[in-house]
Amino acid sequence: MNEKLQGFPVIVEFPIAWGEMDPQQHVNNVVYFRYMENARIAYYDRIGAWQLAEEEGIGTVLHSTDCRYRIPLTYPDTISVGARVTAIEADRFTMEYRIVSNKLGKVAAEGKGVLVAFDFRKNGKTALPEVLRRNMEALEAGMIRE
């Protein structure tokens, strides 16, 4: 495991695509949010979020997100993106992300997102389901493996 991603229970890795580059010859700033989204989706896979959404109509919506760019990414490279939950509240949680360039061995960006529990059948905010809370806590504690 990359030591720069220690403490992140979910890590995804993929190559940078040529088409993600912009005219300044580095990965466009918007693409970093897609990288973070991919890590969030992998995290959701691990905590059973999709099953809950299908069975009960409860999922999450993105409340806010940000990204701190540290170094530019360029093609060719492979990146590793870590995701972890750092705070859980009654109706939301905060997820942190770290993007690491494997070619450079450096942190390229760090970000976070606040996600709110949402009942898609009632079209409104709801309490964070206890099963998601328990599964996030278990994943963060290393009790859920791939």
pLDDT(146) > 70: no
Query: CA 71 to CA 110: how far, in whole Å?
Result: 11
pLDDT attached to residue 24:
92
Query: CA 98 to CA 20: how far, in whole Å?
Result: 18
Cis peptide before 23 (omega within 30 of 0): no
Q: Is 46 in contact with 144 (CB distance < 8 Å)? A: yes
- pLDDT-derived band at 144 (thresholds 50, 70, 90) equals confident
Query: CA 24 to CA 66: how far, in whole Å?
Result: 22
pLDDT(1) > 60: no
Q: What is the mean pLDDT of residues 38-59?
A: 95
- Structural domains in the chain, CATH included, are 3-140 (3.10.129.10)
> Per-residue pLDDT tens for 66-125?
999 999 999 999 999 999 999 999 999 999 999 999 999 999 999 999 999 999 999 999
Q: Is 37 in contact with 72 (CB distance < 8 Å)? A: no
pLDDT attached to residue 128:
97
Residue 103 to residues 57, 73, 75, 76, 100: CA-CA distances in angstroms? 41, 9, 10, 8, 9
